[in-house]
Amino acid sequence: MGLSARLRMETGPWDCRMANRVDEGADKNYDTKGFVEDMREMTVTPHVARNDTNRASAIDGRTTRHPGYVTSQTIRKRIEECFGWAKTIRGLRKSRFIGREKLDFQFVMTFAAYNLIRMRNLGVVAR
């Protein structure tokens, strides 16, 4: 089953090519010629992180020249930072608990702590 068929099944019975233009952010592992072509065929702008390591990127200037691409990558970096912090500082790389409730509690407490640290760094003062 191709990507186009999967997207149509997940989003509804309408034809994706007839919808308004949509942006899709993805990891650098999706920087492949086939994925980018499938996205463009469905009128989806692929905001994929460029993978220039030992090869040419499938993302060209049509995508990267727009300010929306830069904004998308900036927001993506901000989101990745909090998960990286949770994995390295707060130990979410390996679970210490058994059971969904305990894991959920650890996740919520970890990101509550992250939000408190972020508020401190942003200079937010409680009233």
Q: How far apart are CA 61 and CA 84, in angstroms?
A: 29
| Same domain? 100 vs 71 | no
Instruction: Determine the structural domain holding residue 52 and report its residue range.
Output: 3-88
Residue 20 makes CB contacts below 8 A (sequence gap 6+) with none
DSSP string across 78-119: HHHHHHHHHHHTS-TTS----SHHHHHHHHHHHHHHHHHHHH
| Same domain? 109 vs 127 | yes
What pLDDT was estimated at residue 49?
Answer: 83
| Same domain? 82 vs 102 | no
pLDDT in tens, 53-111: 888 888 878 777 878 888 888 888 888 888 888 888 888 888 888 999 999 999 999 99
Q: How far apart are CA 47 and CA 68, in angstroms?
A: 9
pTM assigned to the model: 0.58
Q: Tokens 């149509």 belong to which residue?
A: 8
| Same domain? 25 vs 78 | yes
| Domains: count for the chain | 2
44-72 as b/e, with b when 16 or more CB fall inside 10 Å? Answer: bbbbbbbbeeeeebbbeeebeeeeebeeb
User: 90 or 4: which carries more pLDDT confidence?
Assistant: 90
Q: How far apart are CA 10 and CA 13, in angstroms?
A: 9
**Given pLDDT bands bounded at 50, 70 and 90, which one contains residue 3?**
low
What pLDDT was estimated at residue 22?
Answer: 80
pLDDT in tens, 5-43: 444 444 444 444 445 668 888 878 888 888 888 888 888
What pLDDT was estimated at residue 20?
Answer: 65
| Same domain? 113 vs 84 | no
What pLDDT was estimated at residue 113?
Answer: 93
